[in-house]
Structure 1
Amino acid sequence: MAYRLELSDLPPRYRAQAEAQLAGRGKKRGDTVTVAARAAAMSGLKFDSRGEYEYYVGTVVPKIGRGEIVKWEAHPCFLLFPAGEYNGVKLRSVQYTADFRLTYADGTVEIVEVKSKFVRRMQRDYPVRRRVFLELIARPAGWKFTEIITADSKEEIKRWRELAEEVSSCGKNG
């Protein structure tokens, strides 16, 4: 016969302990963001999201260690259209910044873009900039393009940016 305990059935000391454990469960996901942000800061590199950091640690670093990747660059910027003027209208330059440019031992170049579903929706011009980059730069050069979509939420992205700002401001002051 099964007997189900309720929190109210527990003595006050054990009830408080159980409530603290239950409250801690909801924070675990946020804690993983904090842990990852601190680890990313310790690497000395700047990552715009947890997804970028996890891709770097989980994919790039092991491939560098095995000798598969011989050169890598974070946040390479590609000029799509230079600044200019047309019939008196000033046109700003248009750039595409990827997350990683990886060069493999066999000479293959791969451009990697790590985006959360949330950020992808918020950057309305991203699909157009990506397409122009692919057509004008990646395809003619014969580069491989990989897009990784993460499930990071708006709150997780906000928390990552706050932690990154904290760490960078501590580095400036400390």
Structure 2
Amino acid sequence: MGVRLELDDLPPRYRAQAEMQMARHSRAGQGQKQPAAKTPQSERDYYLAHILPKVAAGLVAEVREQVRFDLLPEKEYCGLKLPAAHYTPDFVLTYADGTVEVVEVKSKFTRRAQRDYIYRRRLFIDLYAAPRGWKFTEYITDGEG
């Protein structure tokens, strides 16, 4: 039982923000063959079902997608080149009251396949979310991709 909103239902400011994000999504996918995976669809579904209604209601002031957070810098140790570590959640929401929520949408399959994900998530929470009082939401789908 969900609320179905169209872009025309949104106030001009939020409609423009939603249109920019949809354009960014479509540009990011141009020139690339879309995998048969369900995760990007799940991110879109999560956005439409959970985030867009909050934006329309004025609860969410800003939605940022795929924000990259640096966890560890690249360095050398005993002749070994150690790569930098990053974490990129799907959404960073800033609510009207200043609260920040970080949302990660993952399928069970992808979560298992990305074996380092749980460690990157832990570093992100310890270095960014917990010290700043940000909420972290992980949404796990049943999809296979």
Whether TM exceeds 0.5 here: the answer is yes
- What amino acid maps onto 1:146 in structure 2? T
Higher helix share: 1
1:101 and 2:80 are equivalent in the alignment:
no
User: 2:101 aligns to what?
Assistant: 110
> Runs of at least 4 residues of structure 1 off by over 6 A?
none
> What's 1:152 paired with?
143
Structure 1: segments with no counterpart, 5+ residues: 1-42, 158-174
Q: Which has the larger radius of gyration?
A: 1
Which of 64, 69, 73 aligns to 1:82? It is: 73
Matched, 1:66 2:45: no
Task: Look up the equivalent residue of 1:110 and give its one-letter code.
Answer: E
Whole-angstrom CA distance in 2 between matches of 1:74 and 1:58: 16
What letter is aligned with 1:114?
Answer: V
CA separation in 2, counterparts of 1:60 and 1:139? 22
CA distance in 2, matches of 1:106, 1:76: 21
Equivalent-residue separation in structure 2 for 1:130 and 1:123 (angstroms): 11
Q: 2:23 is matched with which residue: 44, 47, 51? A: 44
Give me the whole-angstrom Cα distance separating, in 2, the residues matched to 1:59 and 1:148: 11
Q: How many residues align?
A: 112
TM-score by length of 2: 0.73
